[in-house]
Amino acid sequence: MDMFAPWPERIVRQNPCMNTVPCAVLAPVVCVDGEEHLVFEVRSSKLSWQPGDICFPGGVIEKSDSSPLEAALRETQEELGVSPSHIHVWGPLDYVESPVGVKIYPFAAYIDTTDFVISRGEIDHIFTVPLDWFAAHEPEIAQVELATRPGPGFPAGLPVSKQVGWKKRSTYNVIFYAYKEYKIWGITAQILDNFRGIRDIINM
List, for the chain, all residue ranges whose pLDDT scores fall below the cut of 70.
Answer: 1, 204
User: Which has the closest alpha carbon to 187: 24, 72, 76, 30?
Assistant: 24
pLDDT value of residue 110: 97
Query: What pLDDT does 1 receive?
Result: 60
Euclidean distance between CA atoms 98 and 178, whole angstroms = 22
Q: What was the pLDDT predicted at 50? A: 81
Residues 6+ apart with CB under 8 A from 124: 42, 43, 44, 45, 52
pLDDT of residue 178: 96
pLDDT score of 159 = 86
Instruction: Say what the pTM is.
Output: 0.87
Rounded distance between C-alpha atoms, residue 196 and residue 44, angstroms: 27
How wide is the angle at C-alpha 175 spanned by C-alphas 169 and 176, nearest 5°? 135
Q: What pLDDT digit, counting tens, does each position of 64-112 carry?
A: 999 999 999 999 999 999 999 999 999 999 999 888 889 999 999 999 9
